[in-house]
């Protein structure tokens, strides 16, 4: 059995306005999160590149060190 519910038109319109406002804020939050995600991916790529460069430098330094310590190898 369904009961009728009466709501003032002003209250209904206010509720619709609040829902629209929440939707707008949610959309903005999603866009911000997407920007943060892309920035993080970019930073992760840059960090990976730094790690690779540091590993290459370390390898070269170890080679030089080993050559100077034991030149017969």
Torsion sign, CA atoms 57, 59, 62, 64: negative
| Local confidence band at 10 (pLDDT 50, 70, 90 cut-offs) | confident
- Cβ atoms of 26 and 19 within 8 Å: the answer is no
Residues 6+ positions from 73 with CB-CB distance below 8 Å:
66, 67
Average pLDDT, the chain: 92
Question: Which pTM was predicted?
Answer: 0.63
Q: How far is CA 24 from CA 3, 13, 18, in A?
A: 33, 17, 10
Does the pLDDT value for residue 68 go beyond 80?
yes
């Amino acid at each position: 059995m369904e009961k009728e519910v009466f709501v003032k038109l002003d209250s209904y319109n206010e509720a619709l306005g609040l829902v629209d406002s929440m939707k707008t804020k949610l959309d903005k939050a999603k866009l911000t999160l997407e920007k943060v995600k892309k920035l993080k991916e970019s930073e992760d790529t840059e960090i990976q590149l730094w790690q690779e460069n540091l590993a290459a430098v370390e390898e070269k330094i170890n080679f030089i060190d080993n050559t100077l310590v034991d030149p017969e190898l």
